[in-house]
Amino acid sequence: MNFDQLLNVSVRLGTMLLENGAEIYRVEESIRRMVLAYGAREVDVYAIPNTIIVTLMTTQHINLTKTKRIHDRTTNLDKVERLNHLCRQICQNTPDLNIVDAQLDEISKRPIYGFYAQLMAYAITSSMFTLFFGGAFVDAFWSFWIGPLLKITAHHLTKLRTNPFFTTILCSFFCGLLSTLVCHFQLASHVDKMIIGLVMNLVPGVAITNSVRDIIAGDFIAGQTKMTEALLTATSIAVGTGIALSISTYF
């Protein structure tokens, strides 16, 4: 068994899980089970949202360690599900590591929803949440059109590699400004409901859920890190909308 290759492939599997929004316990357990399935004597895995450290002991009692830094994270539950299924197959059948690597390539290249589909998702999410929080149909109508503009703004800021928190501030400011303008010209009636519906696209719901789950599972550092990130995102939303409302009140 090539334990160097095993270490590289297992860390790659864990990295892809972490990059696509998997829980910390799932990342650590997947790597541990995979490495043990191929005959390693021992394995220790330590993962937090931006780092994975794996140490395994070969059959010759040689310790190998690899550290992987995670720079980009998103939420793609389709990839998480497929990686989880692949890990189960690996543990049952222990295929050749080259085959596993090829399957990881296939999963990493899976297409995500197209840009226009994402625009429609933002539109529907904005309008439905506006109605959910008590807005009128006219408020939902305008939220339906402002939502895609929010996605376009976030898309271009991301292409410029803008800091995520600054991107959130600008997007929430954009939501607040357009909502107040629409209500100022009496095209809609509930500016607060429109803003809430629009910023729901920015709320880090998955991050908050995973942070609580990690804390309950005993991964306190990972849970606190994700919770801090979620709270900073929420603060960015509040700052952006607050600036927009302050400007509208001043003028």
Weakest-pLDDT range from 68-77, 82-91, 99-108, 190-199: 68-77
Closest by Cα among 246, 244, 137 to 197: 137
Residue 16 near residue 3, CB atoms below 8 Å: no
User: Whole-model pTM?
Assistant: 0.80
Residue whose structure tokens are 């600008």: 170
Rounded distance between C-alpha atoms, residue 124 and residue 191, angstroms = 18
At 81, list the tokens. Answer: 């599900």
Sheet arrangement for strand 51-57: 42-48, 51-57, 63-69
Does position 18 have pLDDT exceeding 70, yes or no?
yes
Give the pLDDT of residue 72. 81
User: pLDDT band at 34, cuts 50/70/90?
Assistant: very high
Helix (H, G, I), strand (E, B) or coil at 65: strand
Nearest CA-CA partner of 199 in 231, 175, 165, 227: 175
- In degrees, to the nearest 5, what angle opens at C-alpha 2 toward C-alphas 109 and 59? 135
Q: Dig out the tokens for 107 from the structure.
A: 């999963």
- Binned at pLDDT 50, 70 and 90, residue 222 comes out as confident
Of 218, 226, 228, 209, which is closest to residue 28 (Cα–Cα)? 218
The pLDDT tens digits for 111-156 are: 888 889 999 999 999 999 999 998 899 999 999 999 999 999 988 8
DSSP assignment of 146-161: HHHHHHHHHHHHHHTT
**pLDDT band at residue 251, thresholds of 50, 70 and 90?**
low
